[in-house]
Amino acid sequence: MERIPVAIVGGGPIGLAAGLEFERFGIPYKIFEEDPTLSSKPKAGTILPRSLEILKQQGVIQGVLREGLRFDEVHFIDRVSDRVLMRMLMHPMSDESLYPFILNLPQSDLEAIMAEKITQSKIGELNFNHRLQSVEQTGDKCVLKFETALGHQSIEAQYVLACDGGRSVIRHQLGIEMEGVTHPERFLVADFKVDLDRRAGRQLTYLSYVFDPDEWVIFVRQPWFWRFLIPILPDADEPVASVVIDKIRRVVKNPSLPIELIDMGIYNVHHRTATKWQDGRIFLLGDAAHLITPVGGLGLNTGIQDANNLVWKLAWVLQGWAGPELLHTYEQERAPIARFNARNQADRNRDVMRMKSPIKRTVRNIVLGWMDKAEGLQWQAAHVRSLLGTTYKPKPQKQSVFMQWKTARHFVRPPVEVGDRIPDGEVLDPQGVTARLHDFFDDGFLALYVQDVRTRPDLGQRIEGVHKWLLTRFDAAFDTHLRSHALYDKGGRLAKRIAAQPGSIYLIRPDGHVAAIIAEKDATKLPAIYRQQLLNNAGCPEPDSVHPMTATL
């Protein structure tokens, strides 16, 4: 029986993303998809800045940028007055990310780009027509049995990633329940050829949430067509194309607008998460672990982050650099994020769009107008909605109304703490070429020494799986012997953004989140701190000045 390190069940975007993550670390894998081809149905089509960063690490960003439609402004609109209540602007994220914009691309096109990369792989495979029959765990392996066009096939794998969607066969076989709610209405996702770019009056941006108690709708401009998300009431029949076209004409207030249907699909509105994300050597990712409404592409983007969080941990365990206890942190970190995205972001989007009380709608409009004019609240909203603000802090603190008002008036970007994603700031590499910080932990940890190169800091011994770099606002002279390890921080801008104390060391994980912040006096303890975080080595002392890796809490 063939044995492989990792079997990925499901060849949708999350299974493909997981495969591309294993490519980063050189871990062999196989993807098994039950369908004969990739899906072409209209599904998710919005990719957020944080996911664009991850797709860059996975080596497919150029195809995504080439085929996708980029924009940096989202509108929230009152349908009756056709007035923009608030604009969410992504370009203020330019200091945070190389991609301060949202990108619209049909999920089917994204899958095609990812699959093309995998077909060129020397360590991975994408196998179609493989329907999973069963998976069993015995000792140090999992045995998967598939039904294929050529008969039955069995595979042994050290680990299994269940990326097999909302009706996950693996989740059902493991007896894992989903908790949360399923809303009574459904979503119609419809793709049309229609000319709305030259609309008379106010032009539409490429993602617009149109608020209305009864006829709310979401407009998504895709590269070759317009996509509409429309609610279907619980007792309503499934609409035919003519009914949908009439509804769109009413919303845009053009009764004679020419519209041609391309395709449409109907989906239930779930906001549910799995009660357990790991069962021994099996892990749930994407829709198998969480069901989130397609509004804003939260389900797709959350799933991409799942793969980004889990795969590096599996890679470290498979290479013997970490103990299996590290894998338990996957659920600890990702489950709260999925619950927040489902219940706070997705549910709130839905509730705000369909408010029926005139009083609540008035209050909503006032608050959105206030946010539209407050730089601090604008930045915070974009930081959260872009998923650049995803954090693995143990208990993120909620701001009081007073603090929110203070932030709105005198906005200062928050410091980077343990568990936060490190901003992808601009630096100059040793050759003087403009680069981004995230380029330097592409296949490992990054120990970032925020120190003045003139003091000749000692970067210490080599650590397996860790890249060491010095962040300095003074360029490294050649006779310091630090030139090849120095990143020039123009004006100390990145150090100021993260609010780094002089001499501190930021230990950054391969997924871009801060594992530890080490004071200068404890710099020599970096190897012990790294081992402690990954191997659960209780014998390694932890200095008081070190914030522990959130994942172990």
Tens of pLDDT, residues 155-165: 999 999 999 99
Q: Is the pLDDT of residue 256 over 80?
A: yes
Domains of the chain: 2-67+106-179+271-345 (3.50.50.60), 426-552 (3.40.30.10)
Q: Is the pLDDT of residue 545 over 50?
A: no
Angle between helices 358-373 and 375-385 (to 10 degrees): 100
Closest residue by Cα to residue 170 from 267, 287, 271, 269? 287
Q: What is the average pLDDT score of the chain?
A: 88
Question: Which pLDDT belongs to residue 192?
Answer: 92
- If one compares 375 and 24, the residue with the highest pLDDT of the two is 24
Question: Which pLDDT belongs to residue 452?
Answer: 92
Question: Which pLDDT belongs to residue 90?
Answer: 95
* 3-class secondary-structure state, position 419: coil
Tens of pLDDT, residues 94-107: 989 999 999 999 99
pLDDT range class, residue 345, cuts 50, 70, 90: low
CB atoms within 10 A of CB 458: 11
Give the integer Cα–Cα distance in Å for 464 and 15.
28
Question: Which pLDDT belongs to residue 185?
Answer: 77
Tens of pLDDT, residues 363-392: 988 888 888 888 888 898 899 999 999 999
CB 322 within 8 A of CB 534: yes
Q: Which run of H or E residues covers position 230? A: strand 226-232
pLDDT range class, residue 410, cuts 50, 70, 90: low
Question: Which pLDDT belongs to residue 241?
Answer: 83
Residue 468 pairs with which residues in a beta bridge? 447
pLDDT range class, residue 396, cuts 50, 70, 90: low
Tens of pLDDT, residues 213-225: 877 888 999 999 9
Q: Is the pLDDT of residue 238 over 50?
A: yes
Identity (one letter) of the amino acid at 397?
A: Q
In the block, tokens 């000692």 appear at 458
pLDDT range class, residue 551, cuts 50, 70, 90: very low
Q: Is the pLDDT of residue 544 over 50?
A: no
Closest residue by Cα to residue 395 from 424, 423, 417, 422? 417
**Structure tokens, 505:** 């060391």
Question: Which pLDDT belongs to residue 402?
Answer: 59
Q: Is the pLDDT of residue 511 over 60?
A: yes
Tens of pLDDT, residues 302-321: 999 999 999 999 999 999 99
Q: CA–CA distance from 64 to each of 23, 46, 58, 382, 433 (Å)?
A: 18, 11, 11, 21, 24
Residue 470 pairs with which residues in a beta bridge? 449, 486
